[in-house]
Structure 1
């Protein structure tokens, strides 16, 4: 059985890999549909997570604006387009792949994630970036006791937890707020989003006799449906605190690279 502090690295999909998306994908801008497709492709332009590429003919007529500019990108050649719906424009935000692209991409369009107002997989909104089909996230209730310390001071001590196992991240331990020492938690204005869990509702910094530590704990009041067991619970970064599981100290994992993963746990 693996040590609780260990975690399996995220599967590295080769750059340039293309595969079908087995989900309906939609994007909206200014209250209107940019595209609605069941023929999207995943493409990995860099390791970590994919992008969506959508057949040009699945875009609403007239929303793609050819900017008459060809670009040599890392995977091949694309023709730059903008997006326009009524008076709302997103210039330079779309790339139409030409024949000089990986097999399966010619004639599809990759648009910048921030260009639409919202993305949906089936009828559920997706945040930050497309969800990788090779990432799994499970939230499991557990009767194992968890204690969280920093500088030798107890921040939380709970008789049970909800463990979140996410590919590529350390196990996170979500605790009832009633079992935390609120005198050591200082509310923060920070908010982060995760494509698998949603948007955080709160962050806390920690103040001990030895120092102040920004954004050590967070919570989700309204997580995604799959992560509903963590609603209203608080978790602490394993990388920044000392966590004890059933009285056994867990080694601190190495910090997760922010270039490949969202920061929130």
Structure 2
């Protein structure tokens, strides 16, 4: 069988790429509108996903220069604080300067967690914008999946749901009846993903020698686009041994971040 652990599309968007956003984008602090625009731009500061850059004219609050220049992926930008009524957010945004793409001039890139909520149209978005160049598909599969760690079998499933996400290894979601929860310890970790939603559970494994934290997760109520994974369990193939149809897959390189920043899948 071909090694499907490394057969996934790569990321093709270069740093500094800018595109118009065809959606209404809004940001809020404490229920107050920071911006409401139909002229936002996507800007890629790193290949996996973009950020929004907002025209200054569409920002309701006051931006004040912090006197500090940061070098972001596309070029230099001056850091600004935001005042909205009596609310002040230090270092909330960057205004692009000389050396950044021309299309970004006169726009501000906000730190995501400087705002309480972001919306595309009328749907809230978490963690970061969804990339228009990424796909996430959850397909039912008759492939068997066996998961082991430190010689212990953690799951053995006759079928699965394969989740294919641009730039990430294939993930294998398994029915809970095929997971040995007597070997796993429930974790309080919660992460968010703009493509899949908010995790409902994480699990760790305490081996005889080593403890392996947060090696598996589940989305009980995923986004409609990946409804097939609801209630199922997936394991980090970077951290466990996965056999698909009897073939041991090499462990992929560790992905940066958490499932909220695309690594769980």
Shorter-chain TM-score above 0.5: yes
1:52 counterpart residue number:
52
Q: State the SS of the aligned residue for 2:228.
A: helix
Change (3 A) 1:98 1:241: closer
Change (3 A) 1:208 1:46: closer
1:39 counterpart residue number:
39
2:91 counterpart residue number:
92
Q: State the SS of the aligned residue for 1:162.
A: strand
Q: Does 1:65 align with 2:85?
A: no
Matched residues in 2 for 1:81 and 1:210: separation?
A: 49
2:15 counterpart residue number:
15
Q: Does 1:255 align with 2:254?
A: yes
Q: Does 1:132 align with 2:113?
A: no
User: What do the CA deviations read for 1:194-217 (whole angstroms, capped 9, x no partner)?
Assistant: 222122111111134554321111
Aligned residues, how many? 262
Q: What is the Cα deviation at residue 133 of structure 1?
A: 1.8
Instruction: Report 1:96-115 matches (<5 A).
Output: 96-98=95-97, 101-115=100-114
Q: What is the Cα deviation at residue 79 of structure 1?
A: 4.7
Matched residues in 1 for 2:71 and 2:249: separation?
A: 44
Q: What is the Cα deviation at residue 85 of structure 1?
A: 2.8
Calculate the TM-score normalised by the size of structure 1.
Answer: 0.88
Change (3 A) 1:80 1:216: closer
Q: Which runs of 5+ in 2 are unaligned?
A: none
Q: What is the Cα deviation at residue 115 of structure 1?
A: 0.7
Q: Which runs of 5+ in 1 are unaligned?
A: none
User: What do the CA deviations read for 1:40-96 (whole angstroms, capped 9, x no partner)?
Assistant: 111122333221111112223xx1233374736444554543223332221221223
- When structure 1 is superposed on structure 2, of 42-51 and 111-120 the one drifting more is 42-51
Matched residues in 1 for 2:82 and 2:2: separation?
A: 49
Q: State the SS of the aligned residue for 1:104.
A: helix
Matched residues in 1 for 2:185 and 2:66: separation?
A: 52
User: What do the CA deviations read for 1:142-161 (whole angstroms, capped 9, x no partner)?
Assistant: 22222212223221122221
Calculate the TM-score normalised by the size of structure 2.
Answer: 0.88
Change (3 A) 1:151 1:45: closer
For the 8 Å contact 1:30–1:85, the answer to whether it is kept is no
Change (3 A) 1:91 1:145: same
Matched residues in 2 for 1:195 and 1:124: separation?
A: 11
Matched residues in 1 for 2:179 and 2:139: separation?
A: 20
Change (3 A) 1:76 1:146: closer
User: What do the CA deviations read for 1:143-185 (whole angstroms, capped 9, x no partner)?
Assistant: 2222212223221122221110011111111111121111101
Matched residues in 1 for 2:154 and 2:75: separation?
A: 51
